[in-house]
Amino acid sequence: MNAKAPPLNVPPMRALAHRLLLEPGAMPDVLPPAADELEDLALRLRGHLSLLAPEVEELALAPSADSVLRCCALACVGEARGKLRAAPPPGPNGAAAYARRLARTLDSLCEHYEKLGGGGICPACDRPIMREEPSVLTDYLSPSGPTARSIRIHARCANTVRRR
């Protein structure tokens, strides 16, 4: 990752992945994607994986990376590269299963990117977190669901309350 390049915008990547990871019945008014939409989603997921995997690998190989995070992140990068080489399995549900596998891998890569300090967008101020800026890892409760996850936030924003 170029030190001057802005961090990748992870929230839209994660949102795309979550579209395919919703449990059936979790949102009764939402229909599963149609076949042509699945193809488009899979292409977009593949594009995000292609962008994110090298970034996560670079962050994981940095001398400052924690060894456990490094091993997990590099395993996920390998998984992503394997998914990018694979093709959807044949059969009526092959494309959907393939897209869900891509989505799970993308979601994991997003998590590793954030935990390794790859930046992302600060949920408190909506500004990019640059690699050299002080940031902290904190639990974040998504407004779209009850799932808490670890996310980076600017150190200066850690004690602020977001109001919308």
**Using one digit for the tens of pLDDT, what is the confidence trace for 81-138?**
999 999 988 887 888 889 999 999 999 999 888 888 766 677 777 776 766 677 777 7
Spatial neighbors of 48 by CB under 8 A, at least 6 apart, are: 13, 16, 17, 106
pTM of the model: 0.70
Q: How far apart are CA 46 and CA 10, in angstroms?
A: 14
pLDDT of residue 143: 55
The upper half-sphere exposure of residue 18, i.e. CA atoms within 13 Å in the direction of its Cβ, equals: 14
pLDDT of residue 28: 54
Asked if 118 contacts 64 with a C-beta cutoff of 8 angstroms, the reply is no
Given a cut of 90, whether residue 150 has pLDDT beyond it is no
